[in-house]
Structure 1
Amino acid sequence: MAKNKAAKTKAADEGSMLKLLRDIVVILILVLGIHSCVAKPFYIPSDSMMPILRNGDRLIVSKYPYGWSYASVSFHLAPKKPGRWFGKLPERGDIVVLEHPVTRVDYIKRVIGLPGDTIELRGGALIINGKPIKREVQPMLSVPVDANMPGSDSSLGRFVTRDAAGKAVLELPIVRETLPGGATFDTIDMGPGYLTDDYGPITMPADHLFLMGDNRDGSADSRVPVDRKGLGGPVPFDAIAGRAEIISFSTDGTAEWYNPLSWFEALRPGRAGTNLRPERQASKN
Protein backbone atom coordinates (compact mmCIF):
# COMPACT_ATOMS: atom_id res chain seq x y z
CA MET A 1 0.00 0.00 0.00
CA ALA A 2 2.69 2.44 1.08
CA LYS A 3 4.77 1.60 -2.00
CA ASN A 4 1.77 2.12 -4.33
CA LYS A 5 1.00 5.45 -2.68
CA ALA A 6 4.61 6.56 -3.00
CA ALA A 7 4.65 5.52 -6.67
CA LYS A 8 1.45 7.45 -7.37
CA THR A 9 2.86 10.51 -5.59
CA LYS A 10 6.06 10.28 -7.62
CA ALA A 11 4.10 9.91 -10.86
CA ALA A 12 1.93 12.90 -9.91
CA ASP A 13 5.05 14.97 -9.16
CA GLU A 14 6.61 13.97 -12.48
CA GLY A 15 3.37 14.82 -14.28
CA SER A 16 3.24 18.22 -12.61
CA MET A 17 6.86 18.89 -13.55
CA LEU A 18 6.25 17.91 -17.18
CA LYS A 19 3.17 20.16 -17.26
CA LEU A 20 5.20 23.03 -15.85
CA LEU A 21 7.95 22.51 -18.43
CA ARG A 22 5.35 22.30 -21.21
CA ASP A 23 3.73 25.54 -20.04
CA ILE A 24 7.12 27.29 -19.92
CA VAL A 25 7.93 26.14 -23.47
CA VAL A 26 4.53 27.31 -24.74
CA ILE A 27 5.00 30.71 -23.07
CA LEU A 28 8.48 31.08 -24.56
CA ILE A 29 7.19 30.19 -28.03
CA LEU A 30 4.36 32.73 -27.68
CA VAL A 31 6.75 35.46 -26.53
CA LEU A 32 9.17 34.73 -29.36
CA GLY A 33 6.30 34.67 -31.85
CA ILE A 34 4.94 38.03 -30.68
CA HIS A 35 8.45 39.55 -30.61
CA SER A 36 9.21 38.28 -34.10
CA CYS A 37 5.88 38.78 -35.87
CA VAL A 38 3.92 41.52 -34.11
CA ALA A 39 5.87 43.93 -31.92
CA LYS A 40 8.74 44.14 -29.45
CA PRO A 41 10.24 46.69 -27.04
CA PHE A 42 13.46 48.50 -27.96
CA TYR A 43 15.90 50.49 -25.82
CA ILE A 44 17.76 53.59 -27.06
CA PRO A 45 21.40 53.44 -25.87
CA SER A 46 22.87 56.50 -27.64
CA ASP A 47 22.15 59.99 -28.98
CA SER A 48 22.42 59.13 -32.70
CA MET A 49 18.68 59.75 -33.22
CA MET A 50 18.48 62.97 -31.23
CA PRO A 51 16.45 65.15 -31.03
CA ILE A 52 13.43 62.84 -31.42
CA LEU A 53 14.96 59.93 -29.48
CA ARG A 54 17.03 60.23 -26.31
CA ASN A 55 19.35 57.82 -24.55
CA GLY A 56 17.05 56.03 -22.09
CA ASP A 57 13.90 55.98 -24.23
CA ARG A 58 11.96 52.72 -24.50
CA LEU A 59 10.03 52.16 -27.72
CA ILE A 60 7.46 49.86 -29.26
CA VAL A 61 8.64 48.52 -32.62
CA SER A 62 6.06 46.92 -34.92
CA LYS A 63 7.27 43.94 -36.96
CA TYR A 64 4.61 43.62 -39.68
CA PRO A 65 4.54 46.91 -41.72
CA TYR A 66 7.29 45.81 -44.12
CA GLY A 67 6.67 42.08 -44.07
CA TRP A 68 9.04 39.57 -42.48
CA SER A 69 12.61 38.41 -43.08
CA TYR A 70 15.42 36.78 -41.10
CA ALA A 71 15.90 40.12 -39.30
CA SER A 72 12.35 39.97 -37.93
CA VAL A 73 13.22 37.03 -35.69
CA SER A 74 14.11 38.34 -32.23
CA PHE A 75 17.44 37.59 -30.58
CA HIS A 76 19.09 37.07 -34.01
CA LEU A 77 18.27 33.38 -34.05
CA ALA A 78 17.52 33.01 -37.77
CA PRO A 79 20.15 32.28 -40.43
CA LYS A 80 20.72 35.15 -42.87
CA LYS A 81 18.70 33.99 -45.85
CA PRO A 82 17.69 36.46 -48.58
CA GLY A 83 14.04 37.16 -49.21
CA ARG A 84 11.07 38.75 -47.51
CA TRP A 85 7.51 37.53 -46.97
CA PHE A 86 4.78 40.06 -47.85
CA GLY A 87 7.47 42.70 -48.32
CA LYS A 88 6.48 46.36 -48.54
CA LEU A 89 9.14 49.07 -48.75
CA PRO A 90 9.30 51.72 -46.00
CA GLU A 91 8.45 55.31 -46.80
CA ARG A 92 11.13 57.98 -46.71
CA GLY A 93 11.21 59.37 -43.21
CA ASP A 94 10.21 56.18 -41.38
CA ILE A 95 12.32 55.30 -38.33
CA VAL A 96 13.35 51.66 -38.61
CA VAL A 97 15.12 49.09 -36.49
CA LEU A 98 17.55 46.92 -38.43
CA GLU A 99 20.03 44.15 -37.95
CA HIS A 100 23.49 45.37 -38.93
CA PRO A 101 24.35 43.54 -42.17
CA VAL A 102 27.79 42.49 -40.82
CA THR A 103 27.77 42.48 -37.01
CA ARG A 104 24.05 41.57 -36.58
CA VAL A 105 23.76 44.18 -33.80
CA ASP A 106 20.46 46.10 -33.62
CA TYR A 107 20.57 49.68 -34.97
CA ILE A 108 17.86 52.33 -35.26
CA LYS A 109 17.97 54.91 -38.07
CA ARG A 110 15.73 56.91 -40.39
CA VAL A 111 15.01 55.92 -44.00
CA ILE A 112 16.40 58.60 -46.31
CA GLY A 113 16.87 56.87 -49.65
CA LEU A 114 14.81 54.19 -51.41
CA PRO A 115 15.89 51.78 -54.18
CA GLY A 116 16.94 53.77 -57.26
CA ASP A 117 17.45 57.05 -55.37
CA THR A 118 20.72 58.95 -55.74
CA ILE A 119 21.93 60.31 -52.40
CA GLU A 120 24.50 63.04 -51.91
CA LEU A 121 25.57 65.37 -49.10
CA ARG A 122 27.46 68.61 -49.59
CA GLY A 123 28.40 70.71 -46.59
CA GLY A 124 25.90 68.76 -44.52
CA ALA A 125 23.03 69.54 -46.91
CA LEU A 126 21.16 66.48 -48.19
CA ILE A 127 20.53 66.12 -51.93
CA ILE A 128 18.14 63.44 -53.23
CA ASN A 129 17.97 62.68 -56.96
CA GLY A 130 19.86 65.86 -57.76
CA LYS A 131 17.57 68.19 -55.78
CA PRO A 132 18.53 69.74 -52.42
CA ILE A 133 15.85 68.94 -49.85
CA LYS A 134 14.06 71.70 -47.95
CA ARG A 135 16.01 72.74 -44.82
CA GLU A 136 14.77 75.26 -42.27
CA VAL A 137 16.85 76.46 -39.32
CA GLN A 138 14.80 76.28 -36.10
CA PRO A 139 15.27 77.95 -32.70
CA MET A 140 17.80 76.26 -30.42
CA LEU A 141 16.32 73.30 -28.56
CA SER A 142 16.93 73.18 -24.80
CA VAL A 143 17.08 69.63 -23.33
CA PRO A 144 17.80 68.94 -19.64
CA VAL A 145 21.09 67.20 -18.86
CA ASP A 146 20.75 64.01 -16.80
CA ALA A 147 22.64 60.81 -16.03
CA ASN A 148 21.73 59.34 -19.43
CA MET A 149 22.36 62.41 -21.54
CA PRO A 150 24.78 63.30 -22.89
CA GLY A 151 26.50 59.94 -22.61
CA SER A 152 30.22 59.45 -22.00
CA ASP A 153 30.88 58.95 -25.73
CA SER A 154 28.36 61.55 -26.90
CA SER A 155 29.16 64.10 -29.59
CA LEU A 156 26.86 66.62 -27.90
CA GLY A 157 28.96 67.40 -24.83
CA ARG A 158 30.12 70.74 -26.22
CA PHE A 159 26.54 72.03 -26.19
CA VAL A 160 26.14 71.73 -22.40
CA THR A 161 25.40 75.08 -20.76
CA ARG A 162 23.33 76.53 -17.90
CA ASP A 163 19.80 77.91 -18.10
CA ALA A 164 18.46 80.93 -16.23
CA ALA A 165 17.86 78.78 -13.14
CA GLY A 166 21.43 77.47 -13.20
CA LYS A 167 20.46 73.96 -14.33
CA ALA A 168 22.63 72.10 -16.85
CA VAL A 169 20.99 71.87 -20.28
CA LEU A 170 21.89 70.98 -23.84
CA GLU A 171 21.32 73.88 -26.25
CA LEU A 172 21.06 72.10 -29.57
CA PRO A 173 21.16 73.58 -33.11
CA ILE A 174 18.10 72.28 -34.98
CA VAL A 175 17.47 72.08 -38.72
CA ARG A 176 14.06 70.87 -39.93
CA GLU A 177 14.19 68.77 -43.09
CA THR A 178 11.44 67.81 -45.52
CA LEU A 179 12.03 64.79 -47.75
CA PRO A 180 10.47 64.02 -51.11
CA GLY A 181 7.03 62.68 -50.26
CA GLY A 182 6.53 65.25 -47.50
CA ALA A 183 8.04 63.60 -44.38
CA THR A 184 9.29 66.39 -42.12
CA PHE A 185 11.37 66.06 -38.95
CA ASP A 186 14.04 67.84 -36.92
CA THR A 187 17.76 67.07 -37.11
CA ILE A 188 20.81 68.27 -35.20
CA ASP A 189 23.42 70.04 -37.35
CA MET A 190 26.61 70.83 -35.43
CA GLY A 191 28.05 72.89 -38.27
CA PRO A 192 30.83 72.34 -40.82
CA GLY A 193 33.95 70.28 -40.46
CA TYR A 194 32.60 66.76 -39.95
CA LEU A 195 33.65 63.83 -42.13
CA THR A 196 30.04 62.90 -42.83
CA ASP A 197 29.18 66.38 -44.19
CA ASP A 198 30.23 65.37 -47.71
CA TYR A 199 29.24 62.04 -49.22
CA GLY A 200 28.44 60.53 -52.59
CA PRO A 201 26.72 60.78 -54.92
CA ILE A 202 25.68 57.14 -54.65
CA THR A 203 22.70 55.41 -56.27
CA MET A 204 20.75 52.84 -54.26
CA PRO A 205 20.83 49.32 -55.72
CA ALA A 206 17.60 47.35 -56.01
CA ASP A 207 16.17 46.34 -52.61
CA HIS A 208 18.56 48.63 -50.70
CA LEU A 209 17.91 51.62 -48.46
CA PHE A 210 20.00 54.59 -47.34
CA LEU A 211 19.71 55.15 -43.59
CA MET A 212 20.83 58.11 -41.46
CA GLY A 213 20.59 59.24 -37.86
CA ASP A 214 18.87 62.53 -37.04
CA ASN A 215 21.96 63.62 -35.08
CA ARG A 216 23.66 64.10 -38.41
CA ASP A 217 27.19 64.70 -37.14
CA GLY A 218 27.00 62.04 -34.42
CA SER A 219 25.56 58.98 -36.15
CA ALA A 220 27.30 55.85 -37.44
CA ASP A 221 24.98 55.19 -40.38
CA SER A 222 25.10 54.51 -44.13
CA ARG A 223 27.71 57.25 -44.57
CA VAL A 224 30.16 55.60 -42.17
CA PRO A 225 32.39 52.53 -42.85
CA VAL A 226 31.80 49.31 -40.93
CA ASP A 227 35.23 49.57 -39.26
CA ARG A 228 34.00 52.80 -37.64
CA LYS A 229 30.82 51.06 -36.46
CA GLY A 230 28.79 52.43 -39.38
CA LEU A 231 26.52 50.60 -41.79
CA GLY A 232 29.03 50.79 -44.62
CA GLY A 233 26.67 52.15 -47.29
CA PRO A 234 23.20 51.16 -48.51
CA VAL A 235 21.50 48.52 -46.37
CA PRO A 236 19.66 45.49 -47.80
CA PHE A 237 15.90 45.68 -47.32
CA ASP A 238 16.05 42.19 -45.80
CA ALA A 239 18.01 43.60 -42.83
CA ILE A 240 15.07 45.76 -41.71
CA ALA A 241 13.39 44.30 -38.63
CA GLY A 242 10.51 46.72 -38.03
CA ARG A 243 9.20 50.27 -37.67
CA ALA A 244 9.47 52.42 -34.55
CA GLU A 245 5.97 53.44 -33.51
CA ILE A 246 5.78 55.09 -30.10
CA ILE A 247 7.78 55.81 -26.94
CA SER A 248 6.42 53.68 -24.09
CA PHE A 249 8.49 55.35 -21.34
CA SER A 250 11.84 57.02 -20.76
CA THR A 251 14.29 57.09 -17.83
CA ASP A 252 17.04 59.53 -16.88
CA GLY A 253 19.58 56.93 -15.75
CA THR A 254 19.18 57.34 -12.00
CA ALA A 255 17.10 54.22 -11.33
CA GLU A 256 18.62 51.61 -8.99
CA TRP A 257 17.53 48.00 -9.47
CA TYR A 258 17.28 47.37 -5.72
CA ASN A 259 15.11 50.45 -5.08
CA PRO A 260 11.66 50.23 -6.74
CA LEU A 261 10.85 53.81 -5.71
CA SER A 262 13.77 55.05 -7.81
CA TRP A 263 12.23 53.39 -10.88
CA PHE A 264 9.38 55.89 -10.78
CA GLU A 265 11.54 58.84 -9.79
CA ALA A 266 13.75 58.20 -12.83
CA LEU A 267 10.88 58.53 -15.33
CA ARG A 268 11.23 61.50 -17.65
CA PRO A 269 7.99 63.50 -17.83
CA GLY A 270 6.32 64.06 -21.17
CA ARG A 271 8.10 61.30 -23.10
CA ALA A 272 5.60 58.43 -22.87
CA GLY A 273 3.19 58.32 -25.78
CA THR A 274 5.39 60.27 -28.21
CA ASN A 275 4.45 59.24 -31.76
CA LEU A 276 7.54 58.35 -33.82
CA ARG A 277 5.87 58.45 -37.23
CA PRO A 278 6.99 61.59 -39.10
CA GLU A 279 4.58 64.33 -39.99
CA ARG A 280 3.85 64.35 -43.70
CA GLN A 281 2.98 67.43 -45.67
CA ALA A 282 2.52 68.35 -49.31
CA SER A 283 5.96 68.55 -50.90
CA LYS A 284 7.17 69.87 -54.23
CA ASN A 285 10.45 67.95 -53.92
Structure 2
Amino acid sequence: MAKKEEKSGGGILETIKTIVYALLIAGVFRTLFFQPFWIPSGSMKDTLLIGDFLFVNKMSYGYSYASCPSLYLPSFGIDIDARDICGFLDGDNARLFGSEPERGDIAVFRHPITGRDFIKRVIGLPGDRIQMKQGVLHINDEPVQVEPAGTFEEVAEPQGPQRLRPRCENGPVGTGGTCEKSRFTETLPNGVSHNILNITMQGSDNTSVYTVPEGHYFMMGDNRDNSSDSRVPSAANGVGFVPYENLIGRANRVIFSSAGSSMLFFWTWRGDRFFEKLQ
Protein backbone atom coordinates (compact mmCIF):
# COMPACT_ATOMS: atom_id res chain seq x y z
CA MET A 1 0.00 0.00 0.00
CA ALA A 2 2.82 2.35 0.92
CA LYS A 3 4.55 1.57 -2.37
CA LYS A 4 1.40 2.42 -4.34
CA GLU A 5 1.07 5.73 -2.49
CA GLU A 6 4.75 6.47 -3.07
CA LYS A 7 4.37 5.66 -6.77
CA SER A 8 1.27 7.83 -7.00
CA GLY A 9 3.04 10.73 -5.27
CA GLY A 10 6.00 10.36 -7.58
CA GLY A 11 3.71 10.40 -10.61
CA ILE A 12 2.13 13.66 -9.50
CA LEU A 13 5.56 15.20 -8.93
CA GLU A 14 6.69 14.16 -12.41
CA THR A 15 3.53 15.67 -13.92
CA ILE A 16 4.17 18.97 -12.13
CA LYS A 17 7.78 18.96 -13.33
CA THR A 18 6.66 18.32 -16.91
CA ILE A 19 4.20 21.23 -16.75
CA VAL A 20 6.82 23.57 -15.27
CA TYR A 21 9.39 22.60 -17.90
CA ALA A 22 6.82 23.06 -20.67
CA LEU A 23 5.93 26.53 -19.38
CA LEU A 24 9.60 27.50 -19.13
CA ILE A 25 10.29 26.32 -22.69
CA ALA A 26 7.18 28.14 -23.97
CA GLY A 27 8.24 31.29 -22.10
CA VAL A 28 11.74 31.22 -23.59
CA PHE A 29 10.34 30.55 -27.08
CA ARG A 30 7.84 33.41 -26.75
CA THR A 31 10.46 35.80 -25.37
CA LEU A 32 13.24 35.10 -27.88
CA PHE A 33 11.65 33.92 -31.10
CA PHE A 34 7.95 34.26 -31.88
CA GLN A 35 4.99 35.85 -30.11
CA PRO A 36 1.41 34.91 -31.01
CA PHE A 37 -0.84 37.85 -31.85
CA TRP A 38 -4.59 37.88 -32.45
CA ILE A 39 -5.95 40.85 -34.43
CA PRO A 40 -8.66 42.47 -32.23
CA SER A 41 -9.67 45.48 -34.35
CA GLY A 42 -10.05 46.63 -37.94
CA SER A 43 -7.37 49.33 -37.98
CA MET A 44 -5.21 47.37 -40.45
CA LYS A 45 -7.88 46.29 -42.94
CA ASP A 46 -7.69 45.02 -45.59
CA THR A 47 -4.14 43.82 -44.91
CA LEU A 48 -5.21 42.30 -41.59
CA LEU A 49 -8.77 41.35 -40.67
CA ILE A 50 -10.34 41.00 -37.24
CA GLY A 51 -9.72 37.40 -36.19
CA ASP A 52 -6.44 36.93 -38.05
CA PHE A 53 -3.90 35.00 -35.98
CA LEU A 54 -0.18 35.42 -36.61
CA PHE A 55 3.23 34.94 -35.07
CA VAL A 56 5.43 38.01 -34.61
CA ASN A 57 9.11 37.48 -35.42
CA LYS A 58 10.99 38.85 -32.40
CA MET A 59 14.38 38.30 -34.01
CA SER A 60 13.63 41.00 -36.60
CA TYR A 61 14.59 43.99 -34.45
CA GLY A 62 16.60 42.44 -31.63
CA TYR A 63 15.63 42.49 -27.97
CA SER A 64 14.63 45.02 -25.32
CA TYR A 65 12.44 45.03 -22.21
CA ALA A 66 9.44 44.87 -24.60
CA SER A 67 10.55 41.42 -25.74
CA CYS A 68 9.55 39.99 -22.36
CA PRO A 69 5.99 38.61 -22.26
CA SER A 70 3.14 40.39 -20.55
CA LEU A 71 -0.06 38.77 -19.29
CA TYR A 72 -3.31 40.71 -19.15
CA LEU A 73 -6.39 38.81 -17.96
CA PRO A 74 -8.72 41.39 -16.39
CA SER A 75 -11.42 38.77 -15.69
CA PHE A 76 -9.00 37.09 -13.29
CA GLY A 77 -7.39 40.28 -11.98
CA ILE A 78 -4.08 39.41 -13.69
CA ASP A 79 -2.01 42.24 -15.16
CA ILE A 80 1.67 41.33 -15.42
CA ASP A 81 3.53 43.91 -17.47
CA ALA A 82 6.77 43.29 -19.36
CA ARG A 83 8.37 45.96 -17.20
CA ASP A 84 7.53 43.87 -14.12
CA ILE A 85 9.81 41.16 -15.50
CA CYS A 86 12.41 43.01 -17.55
CA GLY A 87 12.17 46.57 -16.28
CA PHE A 88 15.92 46.58 -15.65
CA LEU A 89 16.38 46.73 -19.45
CA ASP A 90 14.10 49.77 -19.84
CA GLY A 91 15.13 53.39 -20.17
CA ASP A 92 17.99 53.68 -22.66
CA ASN A 93 15.95 53.27 -25.90
CA ALA A 94 18.44 50.64 -27.08
CA ARG A 95 18.25 46.99 -28.06
CA LEU A 96 20.42 43.89 -27.82
CA PHE A 97 21.34 42.60 -31.30
CA GLY A 98 19.25 45.51 -32.55
CA SER A 99 18.15 45.95 -36.15
CA GLU A 100 16.16 48.97 -37.30
CA PRO A 101 12.75 48.50 -38.97
CA GLU A 102 12.24 49.39 -42.61
CA ARG A 103 9.56 51.71 -43.90
CA GLY A 104 6.48 49.64 -44.68
CA ASP A 105 7.11 46.91 -42.09
CA ILE A 106 4.06 45.66 -40.22
CA ALA A 107 5.27 45.90 -36.64
CA VAL A 108 3.93 44.96 -33.23
CA PHE A 109 4.95 47.34 -30.46
CA ARG A 110 4.07 48.32 -26.92
CA HIS A 111 1.96 51.46 -26.55
CA PRO A 112 4.17 54.17 -24.98
CA ILE A 113 1.59 54.93 -22.25
CA THR A 114 -0.67 51.91 -21.69
CA GLY A 115 1.89 49.19 -22.45
CA ARG A 116 -0.68 47.24 -24.48
CA ASP A 117 0.44 45.54 -27.69
CA PHE A 118 -0.45 47.37 -30.92
CA ILE A 119 0.10 46.47 -34.56
CA LYS A 120 0.57 49.13 -37.26
CA ARG A 121 2.68 49.85 -40.31
CA VAL A 122 5.99 51.70 -40.01
CA ILE A 123 5.54 54.90 -42.03
CA GLY A 124 8.01 57.42 -40.61
CA LEU A 125 11.68 56.86 -39.73
CA PRO A 126 13.79 59.05 -37.41
CA GLY A 127 14.14 62.53 -38.88
CA ASP A 128 11.25 62.16 -41.34
CA ARG A 129 8.61 64.85 -41.82
CA ILE A 130 5.14 63.25 -41.98
CA GLN A 131 1.90 64.98 -42.94
CA MET A 132 -1.55 64.11 -44.26
CA LYS A 133 -3.07 66.43 -46.87
CA GLN A 134 -6.57 65.72 -48.19
CA GLY A 135 -6.14 62.07 -47.24
CA VAL A 136 -2.80 61.69 -49.05
CA LEU A 137 0.31 60.79 -47.08
CA HIS A 138 3.28 63.13 -47.51
CA ILE A 139 6.78 62.05 -46.48
CA ASN A 140 9.46 64.71 -46.35
CA ASP A 141 7.12 67.14 -48.15
CA GLU A 142 6.53 64.74 -51.08
CA PRO A 143 3.18 62.97 -51.68
CA VAL A 144 3.40 59.20 -51.93
CA GLN A 145 2.08 57.45 -55.00
CA VAL A 146 -1.58 56.42 -54.66
CA GLU A 147 -3.60 54.46 -57.23
CA PRO A 148 -7.25 53.28 -57.12
CA ALA A 149 -7.58 49.56 -56.32
CA GLY A 150 -11.32 48.95 -56.42
CA THR A 151 -13.66 48.59 -53.46
CA PHE A 152 -13.25 46.63 -50.25
CA GLU A 153 -16.50 44.92 -49.22
CA GLU A 154 -17.51 43.18 -46.00
CA VAL A 155 -20.74 42.25 -44.23
CA ALA A 156 -22.06 44.94 -41.91
CA GLU A 157 -22.28 42.90 -38.72
CA PRO A 158 -20.51 42.62 -35.33
CA GLN A 159 -17.00 41.20 -35.75
CA GLY A 160 -14.65 39.31 -33.45
CA PRO A 161 -14.85 38.71 -29.69
CA GLN A 162 -15.40 42.44 -29.08
CA ARG A 163 -18.32 42.44 -31.57
CA LEU A 164 -17.08 45.57 -33.32
CA ARG A 165 -19.19 46.93 -36.17
CA PRO A 166 -17.30 48.17 -39.24
CA ARG A 167 -17.53 51.76 -40.43
CA CYS A 168 -18.75 52.06 -44.00
CA GLU A 169 -18.18 54.64 -46.72
CA ASN A 170 -21.66 53.86 -48.03
CA GLY A 171 -23.13 53.95 -44.51
CA PRO A 172 -25.24 53.76 -42.58
CA VAL A 173 -25.69 50.11 -43.55
CA GLY A 174 -28.10 47.77 -41.78
CA THR A 175 -26.99 44.47 -40.25
CA GLY A 176 -26.32 41.94 -43.00
CA GLY A 177 -25.86 44.59 -45.67
CA THR A 178 -22.75 45.20 -47.75
CA CYS A 179 -20.30 47.61 -46.14
CA GLU A 180 -18.04 49.30 -48.69
CA LYS A 181 -14.79 51.26 -48.47
CA SER A 182 -12.71 52.74 -51.29
CA ARG A 183 -9.42 50.89 -51.66
CA PHE A 184 -6.15 52.34 -52.94
CA THR A 185 -2.63 51.02 -53.42
CA GLU A 186 -0.08 53.24 -51.69
CA THR A 187 3.60 53.02 -52.66
CA LEU A 188 6.13 54.30 -50.14
CA PRO A 189 9.45 55.96 -51.15
CA ASN A 190 11.37 52.69 -50.73
CA GLY A 191 9.05 50.90 -53.17
CA VAL A 192 6.91 49.02 -50.64
CA SER A 193 3.28 48.90 -51.86
CA HIS A 194 0.24 48.05 -49.76
CA ASN A 195 -3.50 48.66 -49.72
CA ILE A 196 -5.16 51.42 -47.74
CA LEU A 197 -8.87 52.07 -47.18
CA ASN A 198 -10.88 55.29 -47.16
CA ILE A 199 -14.18 55.87 -45.34
CA THR A 200 -14.65 59.63 -45.26
CA MET A 201 -12.78 62.93 -45.09
CA GLN A 202 -12.06 63.67 -41.43
CA GLY A 203 -9.60 65.50 -39.20
CA SER A 204 -6.90 62.84 -39.43
CA ASP A 205 -6.83 63.30 -43.22
CA ASN A 206 -5.43 66.83 -42.81
CA THR A 207 -2.74 67.22 -40.20
CA SER A 208 0.14 69.41 -39.21
CA VAL A 209 3.71 68.27 -39.93
CA TYR A 210 5.09 65.61 -37.60
CA THR A 211 8.89 65.52 -37.33
CA VAL A 212 9.91 62.08 -36.09
CA PRO A 213 12.44 62.33 -33.22
CA GLU A 214 15.69 60.40 -33.22
CA GLY A 215 15.19 56.87 -31.94
CA HIS A 216 11.43 56.91 -32.67
CA TYR A 217 9.04 55.79 -35.41
CA PHE A 218 5.75 56.99 -36.87
CA MET A 219 3.08 54.29 -37.14
CA MET A 220 -0.17 54.27 -39.12
CA GLY A 221 -2.98 51.80 -39.75
CA ASP A 222 -3.90 50.83 -43.31
CA ASN A 223 -7.58 51.48 -42.54
CA ARG A 224 -6.68 55.14 -42.34
CA ASP A 225 -9.99 56.56 -41.12
CA ASN A 226 -10.44 53.93 -38.43
CA SER A 227 -7.02 53.78 -36.81
CA SER A 228 -5.66 55.18 -33.55
CA ASP A 229 -2.03 55.74 -34.46
CA SER A 230 0.86 58.22 -34.43
CA ARG A 231 -1.32 61.00 -35.82
CA VAL A 232 -2.70 61.43 -32.30
CA PRO A 233 -0.33 61.97 -29.33
CA SER A 234 -0.20 59.10 -26.82
CA ALA A 235 -1.26 61.49 -24.06
CA ALA A 236 -4.49 62.09 -26.02
CA ASN A 237 -5.33 58.37 -26.31
CA GLY A 238 -3.44 57.95 -29.55
CA VAL A 239 -0.08 56.29 -30.13
CA GLY A 240 2.27 59.19 -30.79
CA PHE A 241 5.88 58.52 -31.69
CA VAL A 242 6.98 54.97 -30.82
CA PRO A 243 10.40 54.55 -29.13
CA TYR A 244 12.82 52.06 -30.68
CA GLU A 245 12.88 49.99 -27.48
CA ASN A 246 9.08 49.53 -27.61
CA LEU A 247 9.22 47.47 -30.81
CA ILE A 248 8.40 43.81 -30.29
CA GLY A 249 8.77 42.31 -33.75
CA ARG A 250 7.65 42.12 -37.36
CA ALA A 251 4.58 40.33 -38.73
CA ASN A 252 5.19 38.48 -41.99
CA ARG A 253 2.36 36.01 -42.46
CA VAL A 254 -1.18 35.20 -41.30
CA ILE A 255 -1.20 31.67 -39.86
CA PHE A 256 -4.89 31.23 -39.19
CA SER A 257 -8.06 33.33 -39.45
CA SER A 258 -11.56 33.18 -38.00
CA ALA A 259 -14.44 35.53 -38.82
CA GLY A 260 -16.41 34.48 -35.73
CA SER A 261 -16.39 35.52 -32.09
CA SER A 262 -14.26 32.47 -31.21
CA MET A 263 -11.53 30.57 -33.01
CA LEU A 264 -13.34 27.38 -31.98
CA PHE A 265 -16.24 28.13 -34.34
CA PHE A 266 -14.77 26.19 -37.26
CA TRP A 267 -17.62 27.18 -39.58
CA THR A 268 -16.34 30.78 -39.44
CA TRP A 269 -12.75 29.97 -40.44
CA ARG A 270 -11.38 31.87 -43.44
CA GLY A 271 -9.61 29.09 -45.33
CA ASP A 272 -8.31 31.46 -48.00
CA ARG A 273 -6.22 33.38 -45.41
CA PHE A 274 -4.32 30.45 -43.90
CA PHE A 275 -0.56 31.11 -44.22
CA GLU A 276 -1.17 34.24 -46.30
CA LYS A 277 1.94 36.39 -46.77
CA LEU A 278 1.61 39.99 -45.63
CA GLN A 279 2.71 42.99 -47.64
Q: In the aligned structure 1, how far is the partner of 2:99 from the partner of 2:218?
A: 16
Q: Select the structure of larger CA radius of gyration.
A: 1
AA at the equivalent of 2:250: R
3-state secondary structure, aligned to 2:272: coil
Name stretches of at least 5 consecutive residues in structure 2 with no aligned partner.
Answer: 71-81
Displacement, 1:202? Answer: 2.0
Q: Structure 1 residues 79-88 or 40-49, which shifts more?
A: 79-88
**Which residue in the other structure is 1:281 paired with?**
none
Aligned pair partner of 2:101 in 81, 86, 90: 90
Contact 1:209 1:235 in 2 (8 A): yes
Kindly report which structure 2 residues correspond to 1:262-277, keeping only aligned pairs within 5 A, or say none.
263-276=265-278
Displacement, 1:146? Answer: 5.1
Length-normalised TM-score, structure 2: 0.85
1:105 partnered with 2:107: no
Q: In the aligned structure 1, how far is the partner of 2:209 from the partner of 2:271?
A: 42
Displacement, 1:21? Answer: 2.2
**Which residue in the other structure is 2:222 paired with?**
214
**Which residue in the other structure is 1:188 paired with?**
197
**Which residue in the other structure is 2:209 paired with?**
201
**Which residue in the other structure is 1:44 paired with?**
39
Name stretches of at least 5 consecutive residues in structure 1 with no aligned partner.
Answer: 279-285
Contact 1:220 1:228 in 2 (8 A): no
Contact 1:177 1:187 in 2 (8 A): yes
- Deviation track 1:174-196 (CA, whole Å, cap 9, x = no partner) reads 1211111101001012232x121
3-state secondary structure, aligned to 2:277: coil
Kindly report which structure 2 residues correspond to 1:106-255, keeping only aligned pairs within 5 A, or say none.
106-145=117-156, 147-148=158-159, 153-154=164-165, 156-157=167-168, 159=170, 168-192=177-201, 194-226=202-234, 228-231=236-239, 233-253=240-260, 255=262
State the Cα RMSD in Å.
Answer: 2.5
Aligned pair in 2 of structure 1 residues 81, 31: CA closer, same or farther (>3 Å)? farther
3-state secondary structure, aligned to 2:31: helix
Contact 2:62 2:98 in 1 (8 A): yes
Contact 2:233 2:241 in 1 (8 A): no
Q: In the aligned structure 2, how far is the partner of 1:235 from the partner of 1:23?
A: 39
- Sequence identity, in percent? 36
Displacement, 1:225? Answer: 3.1
Length-normalised TM-score, structure 1: 0.83
Contact 2:257 2:270 in 1 (8 A): yes
Q: In the aligned structure 2, how far is the partner of 1:23 from the partner of 1:81?
A: 36
Give the count of matched residue pairs: 262
